[in-house]
Amino acid sequence: MNRFDYIRPASVAEAVAAATQPGSAYLAGGTNLVDLMKGGALRPDCLVDISRLPGLDRIEWLADGGLRIGALVRNADLAHDALVQARFPAVSEALLSGASAQLRNVATLGGNLLQQTRCPYFYDTASACNRRAPGSGCDALQGENRSHAVLGWSDHCIATHPSDLCVPLVALDAVIEVQGPQGSRGIPLETLHPLPGDTPHLETMLSPGELITAVRIPAEAIAVAGHARYLKVRERTSFAFALVSAAAGLELDGGVIRKARLALGGVAARPWRARVAEAALEGGPATAEAFARAAEAALADARPSGDNAFKIELARRILIRALQEALAGTPEQRPALPASPFAPPSGARHVA
């Protein structure tokens, strides 16, 4: 392994100061970064270990009813928090559909937001990758790309953001809190990951040294708690990223949709909020036709970036399914196979 510095700051301010230096990287759970370092895709000069910073591991309910989740809260702790489960069931379900039980016990919220794409050409240092090595090209474009982006991609990069958690979070208007050399600020999660354009190496809107300290979910988002699902199409029942996924939340007034919250995962370099589809639904009836129209609208701009045309149709269908399931109501018990389109085997209580 190459030699690098490792420091463990005592405060957020110290951490920010250290990480502002070029070549440094924050280390929390390490479930993604350490793999990338082992494979040589990332070679930071300095690891700033924030995993022991005080005060960042709390799940707090704010006075206005919103939720504030510290950046160091572990995936498993967040997923199994009873109130989170009751008020933001899709968040809990998305978390439990990700990675494995062991990884969820280690991985943190902030790390989940900042995890790298799983595009194999990003990991393979012998391949050209504009995201890893600016200007080197994109070997995925003519390569093995059946799982790549169908929305928002460019000829410079067709990678997807792999997070499950981020999908319901953007649907729920989550805002991230960051602290940086210039102080603190809030950034809507929806805008955290820029689309690749011709600068895919600019992976987030964060400035050098800026540290995610928390994620807030506004109180209004609780209104869809009774009609919320996260569904994930994947090729293995556990320990597999989404080919496509969808979060859907509905606020219903009789048969009429008052508010819709929709987002897609696995389709773009960011968790993809489907606002056009939301607008198409809001104020109208919650019918199969309306769902189909919304799905058409959500994928209207989609185009294949390679051997992945099927993902466009698949994304439409998972969105329709998520809407159907949301309409049917959030399950009283968390499904035996979280986020799985397969109905839970009767009586089985299984967290994959």
Partner 1 sequence: MSLETPAPLTPYPRHGSNSGQPISRRDGELKVTGQATYAADNHPPGLLYAVTAVSSIARGRVAALDVAAAKAHPGVVEVITPANRPPLSHDPDVKLGMFGFRIEVLQDDKVRYANQPIALVLAESLEAAVEGAALLRPRYEVEPARTGLGNGDRYAPAAVGVGAPPRTAFGDLDAGFAAADQVIEAEFTTPAQFHNAMEPHAVVAQWDGDHLTLDMPNQALVMSREAYAAYFGVPGENVLIRSPFLGGGFGSKAILNGPQILAILAARHMRRPVKLVLSRAQMYGPVGHRGRTWQTLRLGVDGEGRLTAMHHHSLAATSSFEDFLEPAANASLHAYASPAILSQTEGLRLDIGTPGPMRAPGEASGSAALEVAMDEAALACGMDPLAFRLKNFAETEPGTGRPYSSNALRECYAEGAKAFGWAGRPLQPRQMRDKDGLLVGWGMGTALFPCPHFPAEARATLRADGTALVETAGVDMGQGAWTALAQIAAEALGLDPEQVEFRSGVSDLPDAGVAGGSGHTASAGLALHNAGQNVIARLAELAGADPASPLFGAGNIGVVAKGGRLHRRDDEGRSESYADILARTGQTELVGTGRMARDEEAVQAWAMYSHGAVFAEVKVDPDLGMVRATRLVGAFAAGRIINPKLVRSQYYGGMIWGVSFALQEAAIADPRTGRIMNADLAEYRIPVNADVPSLEAILVPEDDRYVNPLGVKGVGEIGITGTVGAIANAVWHATGVRVRRFPIQIEDLLGGG
Report 193-212 residues binding partner 1 (CB under 8 A): none
Summary count for the chain: helices (H), strands (E): 12, 12
Q: How far is the CB of 127 from partner 1 (least distance, A)?
A: 8
| Residue window 293-312: x/- pattern of binding to partner 1, with contact defined by CB under 8 A | -----------------x--
Does position 237 bind partner 1 by CB under 8 A?
A: yes
Nearer to partner 1 by C-beta: 143 or 194? 143
Residues in the chain: 352
Q: Select the span of 200-208, 239-247, 281-289, 297-305 touching partner 1 (CB under 8 A).
A: 239-247
Give the residue among 219, 204, 206, 242 at the shortest CA–CA distance from 94: 242
Give the residue among 245, 222, 243 at the shortest CA–CA distance from 232: 245
Q: Are 140 and 98 in contact (CB under 8 A)?
A: no
Nearer to partner 1 by C-beta: 197 or 341? 341
Does position 243 bind partner 1 by CB under 8 A?
A: yes
Among 126, 135, 332, 333, binds partner 1 (CB under 8 A): 126
Among 23, 40, 285, 329, binds partner 1 (CB under 8 A): 40
CA distances, 140 to each of 124, 130, 183 (Å): 11, 10, 38
CA distance 352 to 224: 25
Q: Select the span of 119-127, 205-213, 253-261, 281-289 touching partner 1 (CB under 8 A).
A: 119-127
Q: Are 331 and 167 in contact (CB under 8 A)?
A: no
Does position 337 bind partner 1 by CB under 8 A?
A: yes
Does position 57 bind partner 1 by CB under 8 A?
A: no
Q: How far is the CB of 186 from partner 1 (least distance, A)?
A: 33
Residues 6+ apart with CB under 8 A from 282: 257, 258, 259, 260
Q: How far is the CB of 307 from partner 1 (least distance, A)?
A: 9
List of E strands, the chain: 5-7, 24-27, 46-49, 59-61, 67-70, 175-180, 183-188, 211-217, 228-233, 244-253, 256-265, 272-273
- Residues lying near partner 1 in the complex (CB under 8 A) are found at 1-3, 39-40, 118, 120-121, 124-127, 139, 142-144, 146, 233, 235-240, 243, 310, 313-314, 317-318, 320-321, 337, 341-343, 350, 352
